[in-house]
A and B are shown apart, each in its own frame.
Chain A
């Protein structure tokens, strides 16, 4: 059974940093692109970033470029999102996500990690 479990969320002040982790199990982690998708409270979904199987390609939504870094450790079956210079508008539930392989819709979602940026 595919499982994606996020951790690392919490309350952080504007301008601060936070690192999210996603522990993957139930599939060969190193074989799949992985993504982060977020959802602000009461709002819709927004793709944030994704990363190729070997980490050689990374893509970001414009609003987080230069502030967020996606990375992975295939030996630990883990995905990460380093978030710096956080803003109030980054407040959201962050989902770890995986597609089917060979396409880009989301087949599996984690339960989400809440990040709140507030003073």
Chain B
């Protein structure tokens, strides 16, 4: 089973700042089958990025994904108030596993 590790656990930033979230896999992720989701309290997750770098429909271009192999990054170029949430990565190349999440909160 591929284990995903996300860092940091919590990221405290101010609106307008850049957020860089890391997702590291215990083994190489097949064909960059890596997705990122955003979840706000009391809501279901929302897909942001699939295939490591493709933005889902309707996702603002301030969200970008990069990486391959075992190291992946989600970048939010300028944080908007609505971006403060928990972010999960998921690999779907070998079964399906999620990372433990990174909480982005307001500094």
Contact = CB atoms under 8 A, between A and B. Distances in A.
A43 B21 CA distance: 18
Given A44-B100, A47-B97, A59-B95, A106 B88 contact: no
A27 B90 CA distance: 24
A106 B47 contact: yes
Contacts of A47: 95-98
A105 to B, nearest CB: 4
Interface residues of A, number: 18
Given A44-B98, A47-B98, A105 B90 contact: yes
Q: Which of B44, B56, B98, B99 has the most chain A CB atoms closer than 10 A to its own CB?
A: B44
B56 A107 contact: yes
A103 B56 contact: no
B94 to A, nearest CB: 10
Chain A interface helix/strand/loop/mixed: loop
A105 B47 contact: yes
A48 B104 CA distance: 26
A104 B45 contact: no
A104 B92 contact: yes
A105 B47 CA distance: 8
Nearest to A112: B44
A30 B51 CA distance: 25
Contact of A44 (B35, B50, B51, B101): B101
Contact of A45 (B46, B56, B88, B95): B88
10 contacts: A44-B99, A45-B88, A100-B50, A104-B33, A105-B35, A105-B47, A106-B45, A106-B47, A109-B44, A112-B44
10 A-B pairs closest in CB distance: A104-B92, A109-B44, A105-B35, A47-B96, A45-B98, A105-B50, A44-B100, A44-B101, A105-B92, A45-B88
